[in-house]
Amino acid sequence: MTAESGGEPGQVRLAIDGHVAIVTLDRPAKLNALTAGMTAQLAAHVAAVNADDSVRAVVLTGTGRAFCAGSDIAGLGEYSTPWEFGLREDYGDLLRGLRKPVIAAVNGHALGGGLELALACDIRVAAENATFAAPEIKLGWIGGSGQSALLAHSVGLSNAAMMLLTGDPIDAATALRWGLVSEVVPAEVLAPRARALAEVIASRAPVAAQTAKLNLRAAYEMPLTRAIDYERHLQTICFATSDADEGRAAFTERRAPVFRGR
């Protein structure tokens, strides 16, 4: 069954089919640049997906020739003070609040905040025509949703500096070589490839998948000894679930496991 909301242009659409949710940025005339209203829709979709136990994996993508061009620049002038701008709802934070694994299907330009959205996802798959850039420096500011830290983790300090200090784009082949994306595929293959990857993740034990995501993010911020200790505690929690019992039983009985997220 498919559930959709927000079908008009300038919307963030949510479709749920089986165990996979597809979130689509739909404002192609403006390269899917996000307005405050679209950010509010994204917040509602994140809350809905987190609350829906049937959803086990998420795909984020865009319509037209862009994944996302970040914030709508015209709308940034609506904030009365820099303080008000700094306190606005941040779409990168929203996406990082998704407990389910998220795949970015980067179908075109991922610019500024769009790059930050892609970096907020757990896995990034790109079309051959995709480009990535941090162009804020050309406008007099820098990214504000973890752009520097996440880029440095993904592509290394020198490559991150190249992007952040020039603002110039890199193509999909370079993004793959630098480790910014996991795969590059022809544009016509991107959507089914991302969906197939989401289906694989959705077939795994949901508690274990969400725990693996949590553990991976935490490992970024911890010294090695603490990270290993934290992982062991999370492993113990997973081991106590019914899904872990089912996994062991299925292995013994040589059948496919049926995970229920418990």
Task: State yes or no: is 84 an active-site residue.
Answer: no
Rg (CA), the chain: 19
Q: 3-state DSSP helix/strand/coil percent for the chain, to nearest 5? A: 50, 20, 30
Choose the catalytic residue: 4, 8, 84, 116.
Answer: 116
Dist CA 83 CA 97 (whole Å): 23
Distance, C-alpha 253 to centroid of its chain = 36
Nearest alpha carbon to residue 127 among 67, 59, 167 = 67
Choose the catalytic residue: 4, 136, 183, 253.
Answer: 136
State phi, psi for 191 to the nearest 5 degrees.
-60, -50
* CA torsion through residues 159, 194, 231, 252, sign: negative
Nearest alpha carbon to residue 106 among 11, 183, 29, 170 = 183
Task: State yes or no: is 128 an active-site residue.
Answer: no
CB 95 within 8 A of CB 121: yes
CB 80 within 8 A of CB 86: no
Cross-strand pairs, 62: 25
Residues annotated as catalytic (active site), given as ranges: 116, 136
